[in-house]
Structure 1
Amino acid sequence: MSLSTAITIAQSAFNTTAAQTAIVSKNIANAGNADYSRRMALLGTTPYGAQVVSIYRAQNEALLKQSIASIGQASGQGRLLSGLELLKSSLGGNDYETSPAKFLAAFRDSLQTFASTPGNPSMAASAVSDAGDLANSISTTARAVQSLRADADKEIAIEVEKLNSLLADFEKANNAVKSATAQGLDASEALDQRDKILKQVSEIIGISTVTRANNDTVIYTADGTVLFETMPRAVTFAPKAAYDATITGNKIYVDGVPVAAGSGANTTAEGKLAGLLQLRDDVAPTFQSQLDEIARGLVTLFQEGNPSGVPPIPYAPGLFTWAGGTVPPAGTFVPGLAATLAVNPLAKANPMLLRDGGFNGVVSNPGGAATPDAGYTALLEGFIDAMGEDMAFDPATGLDGSSSILDFATSSVGWLEQLRSTASTASDNKFALLARTQEALSKETGVSIDEELSLLLDLEQSYKASAKLVSTVDAMMAALLEAVR
């Protein structure tokens, strides 16, 4: 071997070691980056020793796809659960202290106390006050439900805008991957960026991917609609300015195809959008219908009238009234009734009307309006009994179509709690699956500091060997020059 060949071999070794060291250094610098995949130098033999011929990027397509799917499932479940937690907090938290069921029971107890001392004006005022608290609880909760829907609608608009932006970024990253792959260049940076965007997209909407020639990737939604192919598909949504129980939210469209909402407590939603649609268009409206039925039941139970009298007096709201000013038909909820439920102002002015009647000209106390019987309890006892008797409710509320108003209000709380509890368990399971999947993916593609430091020690030995070769050639050259002199 000539001295010039030895120098060339040493130079090649230095270049190879430098390239490998740079890769290891980059790996170590990104050890904490979850969106970075480990790089490894692939060596090839040449007449002058080993050289870096390509850079291998650690990857596992199966685990990556599973991770993306798990992100979507956990995101959808988490968003549903957070909405249910907000509904729970609007009812007073863990013990549901401000729920209509609690105030309804308190009002019933107040009526019983008043019935035991029907001549006591302070007991009458207390019963009317409790009725006001009950009506306020129902109307306040109804407004909280519509606020939840409005907030979900606003969040949908934000997420749709974010999704369109991510798809535009994905197009750039995908083009960079295709270009680098076609030219035989290192596409690792672009692939990292593309995978990162895919994870962010899956948080918003459930997706699946297909890889084609030159590493080109096509994105489909969970229900099979094309979201990206060569270029992004348009994701559109028109938000509503405000919400009440009579308003239906607009759909989200991907390339003209509506996005399906999730269903069930262990929701089918993949991504935030499906979870938000489920909250806005299913969970909240169902709970709203239950509140509307409780409110309708109160108006019905405390109605006043005498249709068979002479002259006939049609039934009209008594103690409880609402914006419609009528007694709605039995067994059919009236959207938005709960939001306007209130205690009749006449009861606030004269609480004894609760005992005697007279809200609509029908006086029930035998003593008459001018000299009422102070011991009269028939009307109060009738109200108390009616609150425990079965009445017709709309089955569209998701609850029993025939039950007492007390049981119906309690069942409404139970419905929400069961939904929330199941959603919480499902959320724990889905996030645990996501954590395990990401851990498995990290083991395959992530950076191990121990491995990289061990590789650095090997590279150090390689450098020393190359340096030894150079020093030997230098000594030989020095000896040759000395001999020539």
Structure 2
Amino acid sequence: MSTLNSALSSALSGLRTTQAGLELVSTNVANATTAGYVRKTLTTTETTAGGESNGVKTAEITRQIDIYLQRQLRTETSGAAYASTKSKYLDTLQTTFGTPGSALSLDTAVSNFQTSLDALAASPDDGSARSAVLAQAQVMAQTLNSTSSAVQSLRSDADNGIASSVDSANQALKTIESLSKQIVQAKIKGSSASGLEDMRDQAIDTLSQLIDLRVEDRGSGDIAIKTGSGLSLYDGGKASELSFTAATPMTPSTTYPGTLSGVMLTRGDGAPTDLLKSSNLRSGSIKALAEIRDQTGPQAQRQLDEMAANLAQTLGTKTVPAATVAGGVDLSTQGAQPGDQLNATYTVGGVTKTLTIVNVGDPSKLPLSDKVTADPNDTVIGVDFSAPDAAAQLTTALSGKGLSMTAAATATGFALTTTDATTTAVTAGQSAITATALSGDGLALPMFVDGDAGQVYSGSLDGSSQITGFAGRIQVNGALLDDPTALTSYATDTTAADEARPTFLRDALKAQRSFGSDTGLSGTSSSYKGSLVQYAAAAINFQAAASSTAAGVADGQSLVVSTLSDRFTATSGVDVDDEMTNLITLQTAYSANARVITAVKDMMDMLLRI
């Protein structure tokens, strides 16, 4: 009888185990298309009594997951989120700059403006030619205004994107914290936590799109999550918190670091860390958004500002050649505006070099960096031309730069001479002075001004640098719109048919110029050289190339993620065909156990009838 009881017990345990297996197959099949669901399998163990087997029991429900592949997928997912976000914004930026030669592109606006000046130079007394010049000038200014506004809108969108991503990251971290606590408790009670682990993995996957991360198993169901650089996001049952403040409004002068917010990570120990500093983030959408806001957008703005500045200065700057004096040159400062420059050429040991002296009234901006000008090889000095001791200040600055020169005040400016003719020779010089009036200030014309107030553009460094955001403020001089004859009339005795000023403006616009190295058009350390039309085309091509490269990287990264995802699904997802095979096996086992029970029952009935 005991043998029959043992057989009955074994068969009943087999039925229970088979039933649990059938339920698990049903759950797997039902969730075959559920995002984040990992296939579960049932682990069984033999039961014994008195050293003999007396059945089977379920041990635990196991998730069939490839941890290494999951880790690799999360790394690539973070990279894909970075690449796709970057590509999306760069594509928008390229659209903003336009296509070379298209109707609304920057180079077309410059080219049309140049063509109108060609026509005016050919027919200076033609009123319609003057009107065409002013119309094209306004198109030029409006194109720069609208493009600048679009760049700032793009930066603002990226800033808001960071804010939204930070909220999503905090929500994911809170979810991970809550689920981890439930998983640990389930493990302690001996209950299955596989469903909770699926949900936690989904939250981690969401977080991996925002921030590059790595997950460490702490055992007993708990984990630790750190950024790729090692900063703790979740550990010891406590999630870190991110904080960020969106900017309102976004302007060219709002920068990071500076007035724009970083992404602050406050960990369990309360120590805040800015994730945007020191490469604390290596990939993820937050990093991409920060780069658009703090690097790509500002560089695009500098390209526009440099174009606007050169447009205003090439037409509105008069060049005054230096007078020759014993041992050097006399540089004029008459009518100099803040930001105007004096240039001197000198030789040391037979090598020709350039000195640039900038009119700076703000002492907090001194001494100037040599990178202030577009020439990467000149020596730059800042001096307040109007100061009573300007010559003495200049002499001190020259000595500080190791130059064997001295400056003396003259009736018109500064006499710059060598103090050691055996080593240094000051050979030539000129003054670049901003014209402020429509007439009586030479051929140069302040056609483009800074803002509604009509302030001339001179590249002033006093206070906030005038070039910053100038593309958004550039306008056609209102006084010129009121008096179009000033396009030809540069002095009281100028006739309407005088072609001198139109010719000067046309040639100045076509002339080769040097543009700042911070535009990135010729690398990081050299200035771009070319006409304004060429510069505009180069800026458009720069954005197009950046967008194309980003799109290629995004496509490649997407393919990697797709491949890894397919591999992960193959190993950890539900294969319905496999589950049906398991179902048939379980059905057979269930039927067999049921037949054993029937047989045992029949035997017991026979024994009871004896």
Which residue does the alignment assign to 1:318?
Answer: 446
Letter in 2 for 1:325: Q
1:242 is aligned, of 228, 238, 249, to 249
TM-score w.r.t. the length of structure 1 is 0.89
Structure 1: 5+ residue stretches without partners: none
* Superposed displacement of residue 334, structure 1: 1.0
- Mapped to 2, the partners of 1:94 and 1:190 lie a distance apart of 55
* Superposed displacement of residue 269, structure 1: 4.7
2:69 is aligned, of 55, 59, 63, to 63
2:145 is aligned, of 139, 143, 158, to 139
- Mapped to 2, the partners of 1:288 and 1:203 lie a distance apart of 28
Partner deviation per Cα, 1:31-54 (whole Å, 9 max, x = no partner) = 112311111111222333333222
1:232 has 2:239 as partner: yes
The answer to whether the 8 Å contact 1:28/1:447 transfers is yes
Letter in 2 for 1:245: P
Q: 1:93 to 1:179 in 2, by over 3 A?
A: farther
Letter in 1 for 2:274: P
- Mapped to 2, the partners of 1:164 and 1:330 lie a distance apart of 44
Partner deviation per Cα, 1:246-296 (whole Å, 9 max, x = no partner) = 112211111211113799xxxx85111111110000000001011001111
Which residue does the alignment assign to 2:386?
Answer: none
Aligned pairs for 1:327-406 (under 5 A) are 327-329=457-459, 334-354=467-487, 356-357=488-489, 362-363=490-491, 366-367=494-495, 372-373=496-497, 376-400=498-522, 401=527, 402-406=529-533
Which residue does the alignment assign to 1:412?
Answer: 539
* Superposed displacement of residue 480, structure 1: 6.0
2:548 is aligned, of 421, 434, 439, to 421
Letter in 2 for 1:241: T
- Mapped to 2, the partners of 1:312 and 1:278 lie a distance apart of 42
Query: Any idea what SS the aligned residue of 1:453 has?
Result: helix
Which residue does the alignment assign to 1:257?
Answer: 273
The answer to whether the 8 Å contact 1:293/1:333 transfers is no
Query: Any idea what SS the aligned residue of 2:59 has?
Result: strand
- Mapped to 1, the partners of 2:499 and 2:276 lie a distance apart of 55
Aligned pairs for 1:67-216 (under 5 A) are 67-92=73-98, 97-216=103-222
Q: 1:330 to 1:365 in 2, by over 3 A?
A: farther
Q: 1:464 to 1:68 in 2, by over 3 A?
A: same
* Superposed displacement of residue 93, structure 1: 6.3
1:449 has 2:567 as partner: no
Letter in 2 for 1:339: G
Aligned pairs for 1:236-315 (under 5 A) are 236-248=243-255, 249-255=260-266, 256-260=272-276, 269-303=282-316, 315=435
* Superposed displacement of residue 479, structure 1: 5.6
Which residue does the alignment assign to 1:18?
Answer: 19
Query: Any idea what SS the aligned residue of 1:161 has?
Result: helix
The answer to whether the 8 Å contact 1:177/1:215 transfers is yes
* Superposed displacement of residue 474, structure 1: 4.6
**Number of aligned residue pairs:** 467
Give 1 or 2: higher strand fraction. Answer: 2
- Mapped to 2, the partners of 1:469 and 1:60 lie a distance apart of 39
* Superposed displacement of residue 411, structure 1: 1.3
Structure 2: 5+ residue stretches without partners: 48-52, 267-271, 322-331, 337-433, 437-444
Query: Any idea what SS the aligned residue of 1:40 has?
Result: strand
Q: Which stretch shows the higher mean deviation, 172-181 or 205-214?
A: 172-181
- Mapped to 1, the partners of 2:214 and 2:224 lie a distance apart of 8
Partner deviation per Cα, 1:149-202 (whole Å, 9 max, x = no partner) = 112112211211221121111111122232333444322112111211111111
* Superposed displacement of residue 386, structure 1: 1.9
Letter in 2 for 1:105: S
Q: Which stretch shows the higher mean deviation, 453-462 or 211-220?
A: 211-220
Q: 1:83 to 1:95 in 2, by over 3 A?
A: farther
The answer to whether the 8 Å contact 1:220/1:227 transfers is yes
Q: 1:364 to 1:161 in 2, by over 3 A?
A: farther
Letter in 1 for 2:114: R
Which residue does the alignment assign to 1:27?
Answer: 28
TM-score w.r.t. the length of structure 2 is 0.71
- Mapped to 1, the partners of 2:229 and 2:195 lie a distance apart of 30
Which residue does the alignment assign to 2:59?
Answer: 53
- Mapped to 1, the partners of 2:557 and 2:470 lie a distance apart of 38
Letter in 1 for 2:263: I
Give 1 or 2: higher helix fraction. Answer: 1
Letter in 2 for 1:315: A
Which residue does the alignment assign to 2:364?
Answer: none
Q: Which stretch shows the higher mean deviation, 289-298 or 227-236?
A: 227-236
- Mapped to 1, the partners of 2:70 and 2:30 lie a distance apart of 22
Q: Which stretch shows the higher mean deviation, 376-385 or 234-243?
A: 376-385
The answer to whether the 8 Å contact 1:43/1:53 transfers is yes
The answer to whether the 8 Å contact 1:307/1:315 transfers is no
The answer to whether the 8 Å contact 1:315/1:327 transfers is no
* Superposed displacement of residue 68, structure 1: 1.0
Letter in 1 for 2:253: T
Letter in 1 for 2:232: V
Partner deviation per Cα, 1:320-378 (whole Å, 9 max, x = no partner) = 11227123249987101110111122333343432x04xxxx438832xxxx22xx333
Which residue does the alignment assign to 2:41?
Answer: 40
Q: 1:83 to 1:172 in 2, by over 3 A?
A: same
The answer to whether the 8 Å contact 1:262/1:269 transfers is no
- Mapped to 1, the partners of 2:195 and 2:207 lie a distance apart of 19
- Mapped to 2, the partners of 1:394 and 1:304 lie a distance apart of 18
Which residue does the alignment assign to 2:560?
Answer: 433
Letter in 2 for 1:282: Q
Letter in 2 for 1:464: S
Q: 1:97 to 1:40 in 2, by over 3 A?
A: farther
Query: Any idea what SS the aligned residue of 2:264 has?
Result: strand
Query: Any idea what SS the aligned residue of 2:45 has?
Result: strand
- Mapped to 2, the partners of 1:11 and 1:245 lie a distance apart of 77
Letter in 1 for 2:541: G
- Mapped to 2, the partners of 1:325 and 1:426 lie a distance apart of 45
